[in-house]
Amino acid sequence: MAYERNYEGAGLGLAIVVRLVRLLDGALCISSEVNNGTDIYCALELGVAEVQNQEVKNTVTNSEEN
Protein backbone atom coordinates (compact mmCIF):
# COMPACT_ATOMS: atom_id res chain seq x y z
CA MET A 1 0.00 0.00 0.00
CA ALA A 2 1.46 3.33 -1.03
CA TYR A 3 0.52 6.61 0.54
CA GLU A 4 1.56 10.00 -0.74
CA ARG A 5 0.79 13.43 0.65
CA ASN A 6 1.59 16.90 -0.57
CA TYR A 7 1.43 18.70 2.76
CA GLU A 8 3.38 18.85 5.99
CA GLY A 9 1.92 17.73 9.29
CA ALA A 10 2.83 18.31 12.90
CA GLY A 11 5.20 15.34 12.87
CA LEU A 12 3.54 13.57 15.79
CA GLY A 13 2.68 10.34 13.96
CA LEU A 14 6.17 8.85 13.97
CA ALA A 15 6.80 9.87 17.59
CA ILE A 16 3.60 8.11 18.63
CA VAL A 17 4.50 4.98 16.64
CA VAL A 18 7.99 4.86 18.18
CA ARG A 19 6.57 5.01 21.71
CA LEU A 20 3.92 2.37 21.01
CA VAL A 21 6.45 0.00 19.45
CA ARG A 22 8.78 0.43 22.43
CA LEU A 23 5.92 -0.24 24.87
CA LEU A 24 5.16 -3.48 23.00
CA ASP A 25 8.86 -4.54 22.90
CA GLY A 26 8.82 -4.36 19.12
CA ALA A 27 11.28 -3.29 16.46
CA LEU A 28 11.04 -0.40 14.04
CA CYS A 29 12.97 0.01 10.80
CA ILE A 30 12.93 3.32 8.94
CA SER A 31 14.42 3.90 5.50
CA SER A 32 14.20 7.32 3.87
CA GLU A 33 15.38 8.73 0.55
CA VAL A 34 15.23 12.38 -0.46
CA ASN A 35 12.54 12.97 -3.11
CA ASN A 36 11.57 9.28 -2.92
CA GLY A 37 9.79 8.96 0.42
CA THR A 38 10.08 6.97 3.60
CA ASP A 39 9.42 3.30 4.33
CA ILE A 40 8.56 2.34 7.89
CA TYR A 41 8.41 -1.29 9.01
CA CYS A 42 7.21 -2.44 12.40
CA ALA A 43 7.67 -5.91 13.89
CA LEU A 44 5.71 -7.00 16.96
CA GLU A 45 5.60 -10.38 18.64
CA LEU A 46 1.96 -10.86 19.52
CA GLY A 47 0.36 -13.84 21.16
CA VAL A 48 -2.85 -15.47 20.08
CA ALA A 49 -5.84 -14.33 22.09
CA GLU A 50 -7.95 -16.96 23.79
CA VAL A 51 -11.48 -17.13 22.55
CA GLN A 52 -14.07 -17.37 25.27
CA ASN A 53 -17.55 -18.65 24.66
CA GLN A 54 -19.74 -15.61 24.69
CA GLU A 55 -23.40 -15.29 24.00
CA VAL A 56 -23.90 -13.24 20.86
CA LYS A 57 -26.84 -10.87 20.97
CA ASN A 58 -28.49 -9.76 17.76
CA THR A 59 -28.94 -6.03 17.50
CA VAL A 60 -31.24 -4.20 15.16
CA THR A 61 -29.95 -1.12 13.39
CA ASN A 62 -32.11 1.72 12.15
CA SER A 63 -31.81 0.52 8.54
CA GLU A 64 -33.12 -2.94 9.49
CA GLU A 65 -36.12 -1.54 11.34
CA ASN A 66 -37.57 0.23 8.27
pLDDT at 64: 54
Please give the average per-residue pLDDT across 44-54, as a whole number: 82
CA distance to 3, 59, 60, 65, 66, per residue, from 31 (Å): 15, 46, 47, 51, 52
Q: Where are the beta strands (DSSP E) in the chain?
A: 27-33, 37-43
pLDDT tens digits for range 2-40: 666 666 776 788 889 999 999 999 999 999 899 888 898
Distance spanning both ends of the chain, measured CA to CA: 38
- Global pTM reads 0.52
Beta bridge partners of 41: 29
More confident: 56 or 23: 23
